[in-house]
Structure 1
């Protein structure tokens, strides 16, 4: 199988070499994300909690912190762009006040929220919709000049689980990502990271197939982000819950790294960093 090409990206003037895979820690400023352990309950103390979480994740080896204010779990409740911004902007501000060099990714599919987050200091945009849910996203990304995670999704978080029919899964996902990437690049050069969209309009079997065939995404000649942390594909397969899915997450993260993943998006940073260190060691013998 072809090896996925890893790239160097520039975030807030910092050059990040992805030759060695990096870890992105998840910080959810939401009351309803699927894994309770990742939530910063919305309220007066959320900024304090965010700084504590960021401190721990950075100490454990995270390169990026992914801050989100809109739960994209299946069937998640819709909130307004204003409420989403009110959830993420204070968190970004608080983290950067304590850690000025932190590289924050904003997890949003809304162009205006992305713009405000970058103005607040976010270094990357992580768009679970791959530009399909906001017509202004691609122009906004090109104008801001920050790296952009282009993820595969069909439908919305409310409808995606009914849109899992593919003629041929991996070629179909590659083709749909290619269409969106072509549209994005029509606005100008953008630093792109590709995310196959595990769990988004995919069944458990389809997620495992994507993981097994991850090297197929080498066609994009771009870094690959994998986000499988504690997802239902893991815990339902193991007949457990998200709370007890850390070991399973480490297993699938290891498979992803061996398949060429450049960034692991995770709830548990230390364990993911360990997986990176050990898989890199394996490649040296």
Structure 2
């Protein structure tokens, strides 16, 4: 899954792809490098980012989804939003997947729209409100807590008729460095192996801050961690550097 941020304020690539032309060029680059899914994000969720309404998200997306689908019909598109209204718009434009960082907690209509559209739904672990999204919580047992959350939310989704569920443990959202490293070591226990697991650690601070590096200077360390999670059963890698992740995946599959 290659990341396509349409935002002016994302933490590592803000403003680079927030025009239709630059977004299309980047989408083509991601696909050529080996991305199978393009994750379109109209709103930054970094700490202290500008909060947008669904209407502003939709205006920011414009024709980009339909243009990508027209130019690159083989591409699968996920839409990274916590608004049901944005998903409804994206569905009409041709998206293939919902990537909701809120687990349905920031918009009460999200699970209903997932059921209505019958799109695959990415369920991420996160704190219960937008305001507390990045509050660092020290969990007694992070793996146990994430699994409890997954169990509760997946049950809600299944009861509404959403059966195509992908789990994302939410690296970079409201977790200490120690807890995130613990999750890294226990990926195989996350989600009970019942649903596919998506891992999004690209350019995350729990990697680069302890090393005293920038988010753009940790590719080698990130690929080692990608290999680690693949070995534990992860099925989707959400990344900025698609070519490097593709090479890691190719090597992993070759040695499997």
1:30 equivalent to 2:7? Answer yes
**Aligned to 1:128, which of 101, 111, 114?**
101
2:241 — aligned with what?
Answer: 268
SS at match of 1:243: coil
Q: Which residue of 2 is the match for residue 211 of structure 1?
A: 184
Task: Kindly state the Cα deviation for residue 182 of structure 1 after the two structures are TM-superposed.
Answer: 1.0
Check whether the contact 2:171–2:201 (CA below 8 A) recurs between aligned residues.
yes
With over 3 angstroms needed to count, the CA separation of the structure-2 counterparts of 1:90 and 1:40, relative to structure 1, is farther
Q: Which whole-Å CA distance do the structure 1 matches of 2:219 and 2:254 have between them?
A: 22
- Relative to structure 1, is the Cα distance of residues 220 and 256 closer, same or farther in structure 2, using a 3 angstrom cutoff? closer
Given candidates 25, 40, 43, the residue that maps to 1:67 is: 40
Residue 191 (1) aligns with residue 164 (2)? yes
Structure 2: distance between partners of 1:75 and 1:156: 14
Contact 1:76 1:157 (8 Å CA) reproduced: no
Query: In the TM superposition, what is the alpha-carbon distance from 1:159 to its structure 2 partner?
Result: 2.1
8 Å Cα contact 2:166/2:196 also seen in 1: yes
Which of 68, 80, 98 is matched with 2:71 structurally? 98
1:165 to 138, 145, 150: 138
Q: How many Å separate the matches in 1 of 2:241 and 2:63? A: 23
Q: Which of 230, 239, 243 in structure 1 is aligned with 2:212?
A: 239
- Aligned-partner Cα distance in 1 for 2:52–2:193: 33
* Counterpart contact for 1:26–1:65, Cα < 8 Å: yes
User: Secondary structure of 2:123's match?
Assistant: strand
Q: Which residue of 2 aligns with 1:77?
A: 50
CA distance in 1, matches of 2:84, 2:59: 15
Q: CA deviation at 1:260?
A: 1.1
Secondary structure at 2:105's aligned position in 1? coil
Q: Higher mean Cα deviation, 221-230 or 151-160?
A: 151-160
Please give the secondary structure, in 2, of the residue aligned with 1:162. Answer: coil
More deviation in 267-276 or 175-184? 175-184
CA contact (8 A) 1:199 1:233 kept: yes
The answer as to whether partners of 1:72 and 1:157 remain within 8 angstroms in 2 is no
Deviations 1:107-149 (A, max 9, x none): 0111110111011011000000111111101111011011110
TM-score if structure 2 supplies the norm length?
0.95
Check conservation: 2:138, 2:179, Cα contact below 8 A: no
Structure 1 runs (4+) deviating above 4 angstroms are: none
Answer yes or no: is the 8 Å Cα contact 1:50–1:94 preserved in 2: no
Residues 51/280 of structure 1: CA separation in 2 closer, same or farther (3 Å cut):
same
Residues 252-272 of structure 1: CA deviation (Å, up to 9, x unaligned): 111111111100000010000
Structure 2 residue matching 1:236: 3-state secondary structure: helix
Cα deviation, residue 50, structure 1: 1.0
Does structure 1 conserve the Cα–Cα contact (< 8 Å) formed by 2:105 and 2:129? no
Structure 1: runs of 5 or more not aligned: 1-23
Q: Is 1:89–1:120's contact at 8 Å kept on the other side of the alignment? A: no
